[in-house]
Amino acid sequence: MIVNGVAIEDTFAEAFAMKATRLVITADTRHWAVTAATSMTGFATSVIACGCEAGIERELAPAETPDGRPGVAVLLFAMATKELQKQIQNRVGQCVLTTAGSACFSGLEGAERLKLGAVLRYFGDGHQIAKRIAGRRYWRLPVMDGEFLCADDTGMARGVGGGNFLILAQSPAAARAAAERAVEAMRAVPNVILPFPGGVVRSGSKVGSRYRALIASTNDAYCPTLKGYATSRLPPEVGAVLEIVIDGLAETDIRTAMRTGMEAVCGLGGAGGVVGITAGNYGGKLGPFHFHLRAILQGAG
């Protein structure tokens, strides 16, 4: 399958079941809302070492937020409910509660709930106050610039993590240009995040290592400097590979994001230095969600 000079490998991305939640962070100004969201989603690229995968989903206009102020929607993903609870408690407590003028609300409905203000309220040292508004419980914590308003809990959903595709290009510059183009397009897709820096991964990994202490190591099959090794899967003309990883609230969200990103890359085409698109998988044995590249581009389920 060739699209505008870009070879689409007949393979699939393998993704995994995760637990997810959405939080809505607001502040007096857009600057402080974005600052809080950026801080709390830091060091959250991969569950391999970060505990969770998190990112900014989109910015919200005052008309879209519970308190009528500028806001940001963030998504957080973890492998287990207990870990996701720990991550939101620590990240909201250390990064949102500490941000000037901030507030934090639930952005996701669901029968399964995670504690938010219910655990952060103790910071009020007995001066916290619970309020019920429109059937929902909130906590008001006294802080030095006034009050921190926080929802009592937030909904939890079953998400999908690890959707991906790899961009094979003639040079690092061409790979970056294609990846940036894809990321810009994918940012408009709702219910997904691209958890790595700038939405792009240069250090793609494989499962396992020759060193026992490591559970993941460099994906040598796609490292241009290792093209002389038997494990390499790169043709001679490929000089750089970049990966885009997607986490989403549902399979359809991942599929939409992947198609959007791959179409953007193919729009740049072979003339832009893009050689091909492939994906990372583990033979279909590790994750239950399989996203076939050609089927996605053809619009098939």
Helix axes 251-268, 172-186, angle to 10 degrees: 140
Question: What is the domain-level CATH number for residue 82?
Answer: 3.30.70.520
For residue 297, which of 275, 271, 276, 273 has the smallest C-alpha distance? 276
For position 266, what pLDDT does the model report?
97
* Domain end among 157, 183, 204: 157
pLDDT 10s digits, 184-225:
999 999 999 999 999 999 999 998 899 999 989 999 999 999
Same-domain pairing of 75 and 166: no
Same-domain pairing of 8 and 27: no
Average pLDDT of the segment spanning 30-53: 97
Structural domain total, the chain: 2
Same-domain pairing of 47 and 151: yes
Q: What percent of the chain has pLDDT over 70?
A: 99
* Domain end among 135, 157, 179: 157
Helix segments in 92-211, DSSP class H:
117-120, 172-186
Same-domain pairing of 138 and 182: no
Rounded Cα gap, residues 170 and 6, in angstroms: 12
Quick one: tokens of 245? 């990883």
Same-domain pairing of 187 and 237: yes
pLDDT 10s digits, 109-155:
989 999 999 999 999 999 999 999 989 999 999 999 999 999 999 99
Same-domain pairing of 196 and 135: no
- The string of DSSP letters for 32-63 reads HHHHHHHHHTSS-S-TTTSSSEEEEEEEE-GG
For position 300, what pLDDT does the model report?
60
Same-domain pairing of 246 and 222: yes
* Domain end among 124, 157, 190: 157
Q: Domain residues for 240?
A: 2-14+160-297
C-alpha dist (Å) from residue 188 to 56, 149, 185, 253: 12, 29, 6, 11
Same-domain pairing of 23 and 120: yes
pLDDT 10s digits, 237-286:
999 999 999 999 999 999 999 999 999 999 999 999 999 999 999 888 78
Same-domain pairing of 35 and 150: yes
Helix, strand, or coil here: 23? strand
